[in-house]
Amino acid sequence: MKWIGALLLISTTTWAGLEWSKKLDKRPKHIRQLINALQILEAEILYSQLPLKDAFKLMARQLPAPVCSFFNRLAMQLSKIDAELEVAWEDSVKELMLISSLGENDKEILLQFGRTLGQHDFTQQQKQIHLTITHLERELEDARDNQFKYSKMVKTLGFLAGLFIIILLF
């Protein structure tokens, strides 16, 4: 009985450590996807001049998993009759935070970008997109730094913490 409990405890803490390190590993990937999405959006706005709703639909088809459902949701909300872009954007960003590994900073950047979307002419909009991409690139560097530094450490620490607690309770 004692051994089963010990095994359960150690597997729990190890799993928690693995989950944490997975989150650290995925954040740069998700930020890169966002940057990609913004570049596509820029192209759609400047060259094909699609309305935002159709642009979002198109992007959802081109992008991989978490960001894809973000734009899908956005397109769906915008196709309602009394849809407002800012509200829909904020709502979708909240949803995106739940399913992706993005951090608080990324959320702020996205929200700020959402407030500028659809308010300006082409050149201003392009500038806003570039600004957001620059911000995201800075976050990307940060996220990559954290990944290098902590993702291995968190894994080992989870296991060691489990071992520590078991010895304490033994």
Closest to other proteins by CB, 28 vs 114, is 28
* Cα gap 51→61, rounded to integer Å: 16
Q: How far is the CB of 13 from other proteins (least distance, A)?
A: 12
Residues in the chain: 170
Contacts 24+ apart (CB under 8 A), 150-153: 150/21, 150/24, 151/21, 151/24, 151/25, 152/21
25, 55 Cβ separation under 8 angstroms: no
Q: Count Cβ atoms within 10 A of the Cβ of residue 80 and give its class: 0-12 exposed, 13-18 middle, 19 or more buried.
A: exposed
User: Binders of other proteins: how many residues, by CB under 8 A?
Assistant: 12
Q: Could you give the string, one character per residue 131-150, with x where binding to other proteins holds by CB under 8 A and - elsewhere?
A: ------------------xx
Closest to other proteins by CB, 45 vs 154, is 154
Q: Which of residues 148-167 bind other proteins (CB under 8 A)?
A: 149-150, 153, 156-157, 160-161, 163-164, 167
Closest to other proteins by CB, 84 vs 141, is 141
Residue numbers at the binding site for other proteins (CB under 8 A): 149-150, 153, 156-157, 160-161, 163-164, 167-168, 170
